[in-house]
Chain A
Amino acid sequence: VQVIGHQWWWEFKYPQLGITTANELYLPKGRTVNFELKTIDVLHAFWIPQLGGKRDLVSNRTNYIWFTPNKDLENAALQGFCAEYCGTSHANMRFRAFTVTPEEFEQWAAHQKSPGMFPDAAAPTMVPAVSTTGAAPVVQTAAATPPAAPAAAPAAPQAPVWVFPRERIEKEFPHFVPTMPIPPGETFDENVMGKGDAERGRQLFGRSSCIGCHAIGGVPGAVSIVGPNLTHVGTRYTIAGGLYPNDTKHLSYWIKNAPHLKPGSIMPTIGKGQYDPVRKNTVTVGGLTDAEIADIVAYLQALK
């Protein structure tokens, strides 16, 4: 796994599987994982206390650390940390590691390596996600999936979503649930929250500033690597470097004014008329209204 430290979030790449994700690691039990540690900016350190030691991510250098999650372990959700002071939100640079069985890992990986699946014929025009080698078993699910897609059909059947069950996290790993409250003074129009339209959100994503930093697999133009890859953002448990749970409320507030929720955040304030405490200006042109943000939230949540 390639680990790339950013101020202040983690990028994880599984080069053998062609997966890019952020702040969440899935590790098959009983298999040795080698982490290739790099940083895009300042020094960070990669640490999952329950699995092994920590090691620094050093600028212009690649470090390695490897360990094998014990085969006999229960499936577990583990906390990961940045353990080298890296700036304002160093304490908010967390990640989650899930140890799962090899079969579950295969399921997860099969889904994660497919392009962002959105019910829109125009979007996924990339190569079929399921590799022909059969490494990833495809399990048919919804009736919407075209049965036995002919060679000409661009839309590949997507592997079913498998993620570490949220109920288990909340029941068995209560400490794992982010508890950071939304700072006082933040508002979001309750009438539109959670009522956005994903299709409008998709179009908005493409013509607002989002696309400047975030990549979404299968969406032409969304290829930037500044921010976390959002291809399967809807499947993640947390946002903002593990600071907030990935739900409608937090996602809405987060997009509206990220630097207010996470000190120093490089993601700018998007909400129209909002004050950006990092760039010290008020967003006017290019800012989005609450209704528009609700659309984007709907779109991101649909990206599974």
Chain B
Amino acid sequence: MATIAAAPPYTEAKYDAAHTGIWSWLTTVDHKRIGALYLVSALFFFVVGGLEASIMRAQLMKPNGTVVSAEMFNQLFTMHGTTMVFLAIMPMSAAFFNFLIPLQIGARDVAFPRLNAFSYWVYVLGGIFISIPIVFGLGPNGGWFGYAPLSTKAYSPQINMDFLGAWPPDPGHFIARGGVQLHHDDHQHACARHVAHAHADLHVDVVRGAVPGGAGVPGDHCRARVPAVRPLLRHELLHDRQGRRPAAVAAPVLGVRTS
């Protein structure tokens, strides 16, 4: 009589000490954790933007309100727009595509987990950098759209707009870069597994469409769409050379290598 081998007992994935606690979150390169971090940070900045909006509504509660000065009001709406667009909405989408896309396409993680973590930390630190000046009345005041000539030195001689200009870690770029690697990742896997482009889910298409250079061209899936970026993306700093699960690698956040 044929015997059916008993299935191996189901075991929960075990996390050792290195995978729990604050430090593990600060150093993680796991796409799901980074997705969760994006979500929490985005919600935090969502509250910040909401506070700014509340102060503005308080000012507008009555005609000729005097809750804040005209100058501060302009800073408030500039920072409200900046916060909501760049620090809440965009990272919120990053949260979902970080978390979901590798799962949807059946990848272990994104192609460049460390770059992914780097993108996240640049976003958070940049968000804090840009949110602080308004506390001292020095927040950007030229509108979040920053139209010239109002935002130029001639019409905004104070330091305020400089904060917006000197915001090197513009999170939009970094989130987009995260998207580029997802795109890269998505293609690599699609090619390796000989699956049709259509296999990837609509969500992937949506994200790809939102990423510069990410528009998919049918039949051209196996070639990188951004040749200039390829050497950078191939850099070992971005990869786990031992082939370990990304979550098991202590993240060299901001470029500090461990191996």
Binding site for B on A (CB under 8 A): 7, 41-43, 59, 84-92, 179-181, 263-264
Beta-carbon contact of B149 and A88 below 8 Å = no
> Smallest distance from the beta carbon of B56 to chain A beta carbons, Å?
12
> Per-residue CB proximity of B218-247 to A under 8 Å, as 1/0?
000000000000000000000000000000
What residues on B are CB-neighbors of A7 within 8 Å?
155
> Smallest distance from the beta carbon of B69 to chain A beta carbons, Å?
7
Contacts known (A85-B143, A180-B64, A181-B64); A43 close to B150, Cβ less than 8 A: yes
Beta-carbon contact of A42 and B70 below 8 Å = no
Beta-carbon contact of A179 and B63 below 8 Å = yes
Beta-carbon contact of A179 and B143 below 8 Å = no
In addition to A85-B74, A86-B150, A91-B70, 10 A-B residue pairs with Cβ atoms within 8 Å of each other are A7-B155, A43-B150, A59-B149, A85-B142, A85-B147, A87-B155, A88-B71, A88-B141, A89-B70, A90-B74
What residues on B are CB-neighbors of A86 within 8 Å?
150
In angstroms, Cα B142 to Cα A181, docked, is 26
Listed A/B pairs (12) with beta-carbon separation below 8 Å: A7-B155, A42-B150, A42-B155, A43-B149, A85-B74, A88-B74, A89-B70, A179-B63, A180-B64, A263-B70, A263-B71, A264-B71
In angstroms, Cα B66 to Cα A263, docked, is 12
> Number of contacting residues on B, CB 8 A?
14
In angstroms, Cα B70 to Cα A87, docked, is 10
Binding site for A on B (CB under 8 A): 63-64, 69-71, 74, 141-143, 147, 149-150, 155-156
What residues on A are CB-neighbors of B150 within 8 Å?
42-43, 85-87
What residues on A are CB-neighbors of B70 within 8 Å?
88-89, 91-92, 263-264
> Smallest distance from the beta carbon of B146 to chain A beta carbons, Å?
10
Beta-carbon contact of A41 and B155 below 8 Å = yes
Beta-carbon contact of A41 and B64 below 8 Å = no
> Smallest distance from the beta carbon of B238 to chain A beta carbons, Å?
41
What residues on B are CB-neighbors of A41 within 8 Å?
149, 155
In angstroms, Cα B81 to Cα A208, docked, is 44
